[in-house]
Amino acid sequence: MAALWGGRFTEAADDRFKKFNDSLRFDYRLAKQDIIGSISWSRALAQVDVLTTQEQQSLEAALNELAEEVAKDPEQILQSDAEDIHSFVESKLIEKVGDLGKKLHTGRSRNDQVATDLKLWCKEQSIELCELIVRLQQALLDLAQREQSTVMPGYTHLQRAQPISFGHWCLAYVEMFDRDLSRLRDTTERFDRCPLGSGALAGTAYPIDRHALARDLGFKQATQNSLDAVSDRDHVVELLSDASMSMMHLSRMAEDLIFYNSGEAGFIELADNVTSGSSLMPQKKNPDALELIRGKTGRVFGALSGIMMTLKALPLAYNKDMQEDKEGIFDALDNWGDCLEMMAMVLQGLKTNKPRMLAAAQQGYANATELADYLVSKDIPFREAHHIVGEVVVSAISRQLALEDFTLEQLKEFSDVIESDVYQHLTIDACLAKREVLGGTSLASVMSALEEQQTDLSEGAIAAEVVGSTSGEQVQNAMGTVQLRINAHKAELRNVRPAKLSDVDDITRIVNYWAEQGDSLPRSRFDVLNSILDFSVVSNEDSVVGCASLYIYGTGLAEIRSTGIDKEHQGSGYGRALVDHMLLRAQELDLERVIVLTRVPEFFAKHGFAQIDKESLPEKVIKDGEGYLVAEPSDEVAMEFRGS
């Protein structure tokens, strides 16, 4: 297959150099993204008359046909002698449409092409990884729910410290993976910029609408500087950093479980489907899945170090060193995904040995802190109480007694303030129950945390669903819609719905109450009736307790107005739910701008609204704001939704 750059050369490349130089053996994974980018580029060329409509349609049809062929048999790519995936796609296109295929690369470089392909691939991988993190969190929550009252020793320095519940241990890792999820979403938001149209380094010579091109490819916007666009690999570094952090969490979790599964601890038993045996010792059941997770963590760390070393001294713009960006990120994200999936599988089949865990929690004087707290309750300073209990523990070790097995007389040898009520503080149940604080290990705290985490996890699942709804042909930028979908889910939980004719009287009552306070425009019953389709309401049981409307001006602009909640239900989250619901409606209608005129800007700021100059609004908006009963319209603040 002829190289894309052969015209400048009089001699063919040495076969050894070709093998050293070619990247097809690993960048074949970008076939779908390269075809998607080529389709969008053909549309952009048609818009600037480089291609006729018929030519563009022929190219797009051929590229779609190639996409289907590649999807059915990806191995055919590796059988080619093409230099890279770009050469492969172009050569196959020329086979299908002849010389027309040679026109597609007009104004485009492999530099901006590969940068675009890799970003598209990274976006897709981020979607899948978000889903896998959420599934692992759900597996942890399921286990925490099942084992919320299972008592085990908590450790510091691998020494038994204080009793905790196994459910509490599970929730610690839910928190860790929640941070991983947040980092991954932040990273994806940051690299959601399209480099296509940047050319080799100086920008394309054709008047391409790069913003339209970015939208067509599903990016949030286009990159701003062509030099940076073709040489930027920050997203690779960030994704590898995210992967490394998450793999560190997975490795710590694996280490905990390996220890809990050991014969020395015996707290848990792993399922047969994630363990293996020994070729020599028939009694062995090895935690191979967990050990491999721990081992693969180093591989991911190595990929991060490798790309940092590759990029650290590269001049602008593109250099062939950047070809080293792909193997590391491909391998690392593959392994991260595999490890997330495997850890969820481990948790699903895990069994606990409750008696063994409880016995271990009762040993090692894990209730020593409770005895110290008891002395503090008797007006002994903590440092003195700490010293007294230390002496009790020394005596307990020499006598081979648990603290709760001391007689009252024996305890009084150390402090005469100790009375018979001390024993109720030394039980395991008492140790746990006293930790009834936010983030604590008491049963009540764990149950509360479980409820909170289940709500958060349902939001994460919605995020994964929204981002995962992208089509195969064109990766949609759904990350920007995740928060609104999450908020809409909360709104649904709070019974927010479109208004019905039977709600007219309640809406009129609520709106006019707040109009009398000077906080909104008055609305007649007739007016509400005629604009009922603009309204949504929130109900408490069977009663409507709040309303809001989305008024569309017909210019891509909408205003949230007539927002009100019954006074007795203020502070219950209904107003927040209503506004979130209206923002989602605006998004579904493809409205370009959503504004609000308000005297409570701090409330709307929490939803992503930012203050704007009121004079910048169309005259009709200002005129509609006149007519307040109490306050002057000048008291209002104009705000526009900018997102979170």
- The per-residue pLDDT for range 414-470, each reduced to its tens digit, is 988 888 888 777 776 666 666 666 777 656 666 666 666 665 665 555 444 444 444
Residue among 596, 587, 603 nearest 638 (CA):
596
Do the Cβ atoms of 627 and 521 come closer than 8 Å?
Answer: yes
CATH number at residue 382: 1.10.40.30
For residues 533-556, give the mean pLDDT. 86
Query: Is position 486 within any domain?
Result: no
**Separation CA 407–CA 448 (nearest Å):** 37
Q: Give 409: exposed, middle or buried? Use CB within 10 Å, 0-12, 13-18, 19+.
A: exposed
Residues 144 and 102 in one domain: no
User: Is residue 376, in this structure, part of any structural domain at all?
Assistant: yes
Tell me how many degrees the CA angle 222-226-232 measures, rounded to the nearest 5.
85
Q: 561: which 2 tokens?
A: 């107005």
pLDDT of residue 465: 46
Question: Does the residue 236 lie in any domain?
Answer: yes
Torsion sign, CA atoms 535, 536, 538, 539: positive
- With both helix axes pointing from N to C terminus, report the angle between 166-190 and 443-467 in degrees, rounded to the nearest 10: 30
In the prediction, which pLDDT does 603 show?
85
Banded pLDDT at 347 (limits 50, 70, 90): very high
- What pLDDT shows up at residue 208? 96
Same domain, 354 and 373: no
The answer to whether the CB of 470 falls within 8 A of the CB of 127 is yes
Specify if 472 maps to a domain: no
Q: What is the CA radius of gyration of the chain?
A: 32
Which residues contact residue 270 at a Cβ distance below 8 angstroms, ignoring those fewer than 6 apart?
257, 261, 285, 287, 289, 290, 346, 349, 350
Please tell me whether residues 308 and 422 are part of one structural domain. no
Range 540-551 average pLDDT: 88
| pLDDT exceeds cutoff 70 at 406 | yes
Give pLDDT, residue 212: 94
- Identify the pLDDT of residue 128: 92
What gap in Å lies between CA 410 and CA 407, rounded to an integer? 5
Q: Are residues 72 and 163 part of one domain?
A: no
Q: Which backbone phi and psi does 567 adopt, to 5 degrees?
A: -55, -40
Query: Please, which residues have CB within 8 angstroms of residue 213's CB and are 6 or more apart in sequence?
Result: 40, 41, 43, 44, 194, 196, 197, 222
Distance between CA 170 and CA 148 in Å, rounded? 9
Please report, for residues 142, 306, 585, the alpha-carbon distance to residue 340 in angstroms, rounded to integers and kept in the order given: 16, 23, 35
Residue 317 near residue 264, CB atoms below 8 Å: no
DSSP state of 438: T
Is there a domain that residue 432 lies in? no
Does residue 524 have an active-site annotation?
A: no
Query: Would you state the pLDDT for residue 477?
Result: 36
- Write the CB contacts of 373 (distance below 8 Å, at least 6 apart in sequence): 385, 425, 434
Cα 175 to Cα 177: distance, rounded to the nearest angstrom: 6
Are 297 and 247 within 8 A, CB to CB?
Answer: yes
Residue 623 has a pLDDT of 59
Residues 386 and 303 in one domain: no
Q: What percent of the chain has pLDDT over 90?
A: 50
- Which residues are CB-neighbours of 634 under 8 A, at least 6 positions away? none
- CATH number, domain containing residue 621: 3.40.630.30
pLDDT confidence of residue 108: 96
Q: Which of 182, 276, 278, 616 is catalytic?
A: 278
| Residue that terminates a domain, selected from 409, 426, 443 | 426
Q: Does the pLDDT value for residue 546 go beyond 70?
A: yes
Residue 378: inside a domain, yes or no?
yes
Please report, as a single letter, which amino acid is at residue 623. K
Q: Tell which wins on pLDDT, 491 or 316.
A: 316
Cα–Cα distance for residue pair 416/68, rounded to 1 Å = 84
Q: Which stretches within 262-324 are classed as H helix?
A: 288-311
pLDDT level of residue 117 (50, 70, 90 thresholds): very high
Residue 465 forms part of a structural domain? no
Does residue 396 have a pLDDT over 50? yes
> Is 628 a residue whose pLDDT tops 60?
no
Give the pLDDT of residue 126.
Answer: 93
The count of other CB atoms within 10 Å of the CB of residue 50 is: 17
Mean pLDDT of 261-270: 94
- Domain identity same for 127 and 196: yes
Please say whether the beta carbons of 162 and 431 come within 8 A: yes
CA distances in angstroms from 157 to 149, 160, 368, 431, listed in the order given: 24, 8, 17, 20
Report pLDDT for 75: 85
pLDDT at 18: 82
pTM value > 0.75: no
State pLDDT tens for residues 46-80: 999 999 999 999 999 999 999 999 999 988 899 99
Q: Is 157 considered catalytic here?
A: yes
Q: Which domain holds residue 408?
A: 368-426
Q: For residues 301 and 230, give the distance between their C-alpha atoms in angstroms, rounded to a whole number.
A: 25
Q: What is the Cα–Cα distance from 337 to 330, expressed in whole angstroms?
A: 11
Number of domains in the chain: 4
Task: Give the pLDDT confidence of 118-128 residue by residue, as tens digits.
Answer: 999 999 999 89
Residue whose pair of structure tokens reads 């947040």 in the numeric block:
182
